[in-house]
Structure 1
Amino acid sequence: MTTSPPLLKRWRRTLLALSGTALALWPIDPTPPPGKAMEGVLSRDFITIHTRNTPLTYYEGRQGPTGFEYQLMRRFADSLGVSLNLDDDHFVPTVLDAVRQQGDLGAAALPLESDEPGLIYSRSIMPMQPIVVYRRGLQPPDNIDDLVGLQVGILQGAGISRIMHELQLQQPALSWKEASDLEASALLRRIESGELDAAVVFEHQFRLNRLFFPEVEDGFKVGDPLSMAWAFPANQGLGLINAANAFLDELKANGELDQLITRYFGHDDYLEYVGARVFIHHVHQRLPRYDAMFREAARREQFDWKLLAAIGYQESHWNPTATSPTGVRGMMMLTNVTADEVGVADRLNPAESIEGGARYLRSIEQRLPESITGEDRLFMALAAYNVGLGHLYDARDIARLQGSDADSWEAVREALPLLQESEWYSKTRHGYARGGEPVIYVRNIRRYLEILEYVDRSQQQFHQLNARLADYPESETFEVVPPKP
């Protein structure tokens, strides 16, 4: 795969229609007339938003573009009746420069900084609390004095620099490094590798990334919360910013903004934290021995290889000789009956087990009713892999009895634990089942898959970043702020 040069890449982003579907690409006039921001957006029928490619703001997920601020951007474009054009080739400082020079707005987890020249900000979207994070094994820092003598990193332009300078007035010996061309995940990676001892990031950034960097711990809060806001050019009138403020007010009033915040930042407890650390360790130590097998099986059965790897970890922790008390064995923990059904002669052969598990999952998925679609279909197939297709159908029957949609995983997920209660399982064809287990099973696999996708994506971004920074020594990546004399 070839990579576009940065200047071309910047303007080769997909124009997203109201539904989020790609429409077309065309050149963009980078200098709309002063005072004509809203008129320019409506006349050209799209809005350009400068952003960053991060888990917090915007990235390509399994189902297409996603991310907290992407969801807001798309809804805002919808409210204006225009398409969405994303320019995501940025870090925080270049987002602000692009907004000043090109419009229309910047949405990139930007702090509301009233003294930024040439910019005007929307109302607050959500609070952003800075916190200290540090490498596991160090003496836990409790206050700013404990950071003296440590290698501390922050992101330039993220609003934290001003707080650090204020703290330096209290503790002149405080020193830190500022990077203008990194993201929060890169700071966490540098802490884990030992290049940094600590960093100051926003709490929601750490919550979003903590499972991917298990050797990084959270310390203490620093300063007062800042406000996330959108940035607009100050010389192009108030029409667009007034529309944005009205849009944000409506989202707050109808509860949709709180729902999005909870969806993206309120669920870092799917896995017990120590379990996540073990998983990350095995991703680096065990998975490389078997990833080619997962990829080959995925190619044959047309699955995402990372999904099969996530199932394999949930089943056996990638141990090809695993054996349960009930007699299921191997990487994908197949029963004798299932192994015979999918043509596996040796359950302890990892390649055979992985191939058999993939065939079994595909056979389950193909037996589900056609009315079950999308992710609902995948999650129900995973649940049936764990509890059996008969018990899954029983849970769907219970969902119907409760007046819920039996084709919805959300409804079936609520019904499955009822298979443990006689009031309900007595009404089913297959009787009692430990229905809570497939709920946890699917939840864990989804989280393992999310981590694997993040690792895969971050490795690609890491290599791309290394290529971009190959000619820049660390002294140019980080600007050192020394102690006060």
Structure 2
Amino acid sequence: MLYSGTYKSVIKIVGLLLFISLMGGCGCDRKKVQEEPAEKEPTDLELIKEAGVLKVVVDYNSTNYFVYRGKPMGYQYDLVHELCEALDVNPQITVSNDLVESFDGLQNGRFDIIAQNLTVTRKRRELVDFTAPLKQTRQVLVQRKPNPNDSNTVYLKSTLELAEKKVHVQKNSSYSRRLVNLSEEIGYPIEIVEDSIYGVEQLVARVANGEIDYTVCDEDVARVNKTYYRNIDVSLVISFPQNIAWAVRKNASDDWKAYLDNWITEFKKTRKHAVLYNKYFSSPRSSHRMDSEYHSITGGKISEYDPVVKELAANHGWDWRLVSSIMYEESRFNPEAESWGGAYGLMQLMPNTATALGVTDITEPRENIRGGILMLNWLDEQLLNSIPDSTERIKFTLAAYNIGLGHVKDAQRLARKYGKNQHKWEGNVDFYLRNKSSSKYFEDPVVRWGYARGEEAYNYVQRVTGNYEHYLNVIPK
């Protein structure tokens, strides 16, 4: 009886210990589950590659970004395109000469990068992270050359002579901070006027035109401007050499900045970069570009046919800048351009099509433009019911202008068959048009027009809409 009671007690103790052990094990398992790391958030670089788009803000001036003879150009513009090619993404370019807007847009995610001539300063480092330097430059005073016949000349030979002088600079620029420090250094006040309307090069132009006496800008930009404003002097240096760089968000992931730093460092070593830099900062052609009426800054024209395009486009409800973008892609504004297939003129009309549209002389520029616009009208009308969104319809109309309406309709039918949106271009109909050279698609029963090299039409739409966006950025309506 005693043995039986003892045995039962032992059994109870063993059971209790086993229960505690099991509970402890469960607790450990729960702890392990709780300590498992959460799913890793994608980095900035991964998000950019996944989206396939790099959102960039550039400033509009004669070196960084402009349009010349219908073609977007510029040092920063070309750099961005080289970067996007390396990333295998498309650039989405916004133009802003407002530094506050650029910095705010970077912080709130509107932009991935500021691709401007940003001077690296301690104050700015508190707001953003800078990439590896693109270049170094110094700040210089821009003033008019001395006039020996004018006893009241305002020409300055030394920074000491800036005492109590009025200097206009772009608002929120590093030039203002440098002048504040310079004022301390010389021991006299400098009247600093921060201009919120004019950009750096516009202020240089105002100096050249005698509207103001002084401004400040980077030395390399000043030298370029000196080639077409022959009356300005840029020899008075007011700063030590300073780094110029791009900016990314302060909280951007390390891999994005590391990628940019590495890319910039390596690209600067290439011959391509040397050629690019020379093109915008050293070549005599830079002054010839600025002298042209087809430079967006000085002349504001896209081509010599602007007046005709504006008139005819307005008559039919088209934006003349879109028509000009088509014309640039079709013929580079050459009225005698002729394709291997027989298309002719500024808008590359086929003779039979021109006749059907009532074009009397395909070789006459005005008639050729009119015919091209009538063709756009007809295509737009054919697509109106299936693509009610006018902005979306432009892409379909452009594709049809290039490859033919039948092939675009085929791509719509393929999109519908394979569960995509036949009313949307990007990521839907464009895929099937691009792949219409594949037997899987051009032999599909829903296809009526057979084989097509749709990749060409897809690229055509990309180029025309891309150039059109650049025209919208800098060419007045």
With normalisation by structure 1, the TM-score equals 0.48
With normalisation by structure 2, the TM-score equals 0.49
Structure with larger Rg: 2
